[in-house]
Chains A and B, each alone.
Chain A
Amino acid sequence: MDVLSNLAYGFEVAFSIQNLGFAFLGALLGTLVGVLPGIGPVATISMLLPITYVLSPVTGLIMLSGIYYGAQYGGSTTAILVNLPGESSSVVTAIDGHQMAKRGDAGAALVVAALGSLFAGVVGTLLIAVFGPVLAEVAFYFGAPEYFSLVVLGLLGSVVLAHGSALKAVAMILLGLMVGTIGTDVNSGASRFTFGNLNLIDGFEIAVVAMGLFGISELLRNLEEPPLQNVVTRKVGGLWLSRKQFREAAPAAIRGTTIGSILGLLPGGGAVLSSFASYAVEKRVAKDSSIFGKGAIQGVAGPEAANNAAAQTSFIPMLTLGIPATSTMALMVGAMTVHNIQPGPMIMQNQPELFWGLIASMVIGNLILVILNLPLVGLWVRLLKIPYRLLLPAILLFTAIGLFSLGNSTFDVMAAFGFGVFGYVIAKCGCEPAPFILGFILGPLLEENLRRALTISQGDPAVFFTRPVSLGLLIAAACLLVLMVAPAFRRNREEIFQEAD
């Protein structure tokens, strides 16, 4: 088939010593960057962009992609080990992943994250290769009303992120939503709740909120009650997956890959939803959903696969239409422009070695990362055995430096601390951080698209219901709502009937 021969050609391109070397270098750098909390791939890629100008375009892009994936893999590592998610994609991983680490299962969590991501990466790459231009069309089904309905569905479905009181979970979501409005309002240009503080013009960085709310509050909790060190050494086979774990994780990874592949096609917010959506789905299809939040392996496998698949398929709008989905990708578009390459449908015909070489390097990049990360699992697990009183200052220091590096700003460091204290107090009161972050991330998307949809339709709210995709999503959301509320009614009815008896 045509695709196979193209892929073969691509592998030929990618397998040159130079390209392999730079792919490895990129992956290594990306992992390092991802592991260090706070410093994200954007900063690294921008620092290294000038180097890519002197390389050939294929090599440059291969290295940049390596950094991009490496950061994802590395970010999951810190999320699992020390509850420090640096990006929105690792937030969900931290929920059950870190619990697994606390139970002594850090090795399994890391392995499942790596393997799940590899699977999703390969599938995602195949999708780009075989169905790229067709899948790109999906993006065009989503305008503002559709995004709004999608986010409504996502928010509703993700209420299950909480495993405690639903009332408090919704309250946290709403609070996160409000904190998300801090900054400049897209639709009107007005600045909201910034008090004239220059640092708040763009609102809080996700890394600041996530690391503060998850990592620093955990740190404060641990100062009260140090984590049990001997638990980590208990599991002898803790560096690989048991058969049972594999059987539980594999279907979750497959489901997550499907979800992520579809959502990644939507520039403007699809990828961010993928890990939340996968977690929600896993919790719903699980036989025993009470394990979630305490270290369920599906809660790591699914979301990790989802966000890696989304990371892959989000290349599709960029490569085929020239529409970058994230700022990282906009940088890559910039790198291509420097070499006079216009991403778009022409790219497959005009520069086949670039397109197919990049595709092949995605597979290779994912493989390199697994090869890099799996042996490291042993190292990380051993690191966790260091007495907490020594780990603690290192964690705090790297977090502080990482946060500072986000924008050369000390404000970010203090803000994260503030979120940390808030998280610590509120967690002791029985509220959870994950719903807050969900609201923080999705709230602005919800509002932006709601207002844009109404602006375009000149104030006509029917637009959400007259467009088929939007209507379908809203109906799904309504069904979900009924499903969530119905058991409560059934229970009440049973109680009434029992009392009547």
Chain B
Amino acid sequence: MFARSIFLALCVAGSPVLAQDYPDRSITFVVPYPPGGTIDRLARELADHLAQDWDQAVIVENHAGGNAAVGVQNVLGAEPDGYTLLIGGGSTHSVGPATDENLTYDPIADFTPVAYLGDTPMVLTAGPSFDAADLPAIVALSSGGEDLTYGSVGNSTVLAGELINRATGTKLRHVNYKQFGPVLIDLVRGDVDMAISSLSIVIGNIRQDMVRPIAVTSTERSPLLPDVPAMAETYPGFEVLIWFALFGPADLPEDIRTRLHDETDAFLNDPARKERWAQESFNLRPRSAEEFTTFIAADVAKWQQAAEEAGLAAK
């Protein structure tokens, strides 16, 4: 009896921050994405939910564009006490690092994965003047020697294109853009044959019949486009997801991590919320700690390999 209480007392004295005390001041979410975008809104919704539940302020700090790296650095340099957390994703932890020559951190070793939030697929769309009716037709055209182009914004879509080329044997050529607006215009004009982008950015135009969806890159079909096949149906194992998750700096105490993780999972599992975000083609998807860690490792490796094969790998 006595020994047990001594033991407990020592445990309590030893841990730097107790889960019961956490949080006792405001938490900061560093969001390295532009304000108003999909992930920023989700982060703010989560922040509000936690703030209400725990009766502490949860502040969202945006670091958009080139400043994204600055935001990540801020989290890395912070104390692992659960008060500075990162909303990261493929761009900060798997796709981004694969092509970033200025990378200063290790996406796996320098972070504690706290909670997976969700994902959205990419979609391959075709312009109205592009004749190919579906994916097999495109594969046939490209393998037959036709020069087919696709427009896209950013590195991740180019790597996705490379993965498509690898899986299907096509030789689609990428044309880079800074914003998605001109991609749509060139697509409709027929200057580029196809486009690869996140589903959410183009779903509106798809619904207007401005562009034609060919395939989605998730393993299952998107509920918003039930008639559009998933790449994985013809090419098993093909999966490209734009995913986001909550991270903390390395060595985050386990009890704080668990608290954050469980609270976030409760947030993600709310059916009304799930439905609402699914309407925006974003799938809220809680993952357990082991699932998440395995997923990250696999994703990092996948994109590293894709980057090397595309010649875009960071030297």
Contact = CB atoms under 8 A, between A and B. Distances in A.
A46 B37 CA distance: 9
Among A46, A49, A343, the most chain B Cβ lie within 10 Å of the Cβ of A46
A58 B62 CA distance: 26
Contacts of B36: 45-46, 49, 330-331, 334-335
Interface string A354-395: 000000000000000000000000000000000000000000
A267 interface: yes
Contacts of B200: 337
B263 interface: no
20 contacts: A43-B35, A45-B35, A46-B34, A49-B35, A186-B178, A189-B99, A198-B102, A201-B65, A201-B102, A322-B205, A322-B208, A331-B36, A334-B37, A342-B207, A407-B67, A408-B63, A408-B70, A409-B70, A452-B175, A455-B149
B66 A198 contact: yes
B184 interface: yes
B204 A198 contact: no
A338 B42 CA distance: 11
Contacts of B101: 191
Given A49-B36, A189-B99, A201 B204 contact: no
A199 B312 CA distance: 22
Contacts of A142: 185
B102 A196 contact: yes
Interface residues of B, number: 51
B208 A342 contact: yes
B186 interface: yes
A84 to B, nearest CB: 22
A268 B70 CA distance: 27
Contacts of B147: 458
Contact of B188 (A140, A344, A346, A456): A140
Contacts of A202: 65-67
B259 to A, nearest CB: 25
B210 interface: yes
Contacts of A194: 102
A342 B149 CA distance: 27
Interface string B39-82: 01100100000000000000001111111011001000000000
A290 interface: no
The 7 A-B residue pairs with the shortest CB-CB distance, nearest first, are A46-B35, A202-B66, A201-B66, A331-B36, A267-B181, A342-B204, A323-B181
B215 interface: no
Contacts of A196: 102
Contact of B66 (A45, A183, A338, A408): A183
A186 B176 contact: yes
B262 interface: no
B189 A346 contact: no
B280 A337 contact: yes
Contacts of B192: 456
Contacts of B234: none
A498 interface: no
Contacts of A200: 66
Given A191-B102, A452-B177, A456-B149, A267 B64 contact: no
Given A189-B155, A199-B66, A344-B204, A140 B279 contact: no
Contacts of A16: none
Contacts of B294: none
B61 A408 contact: yes
B60 to A, nearest CB: 9
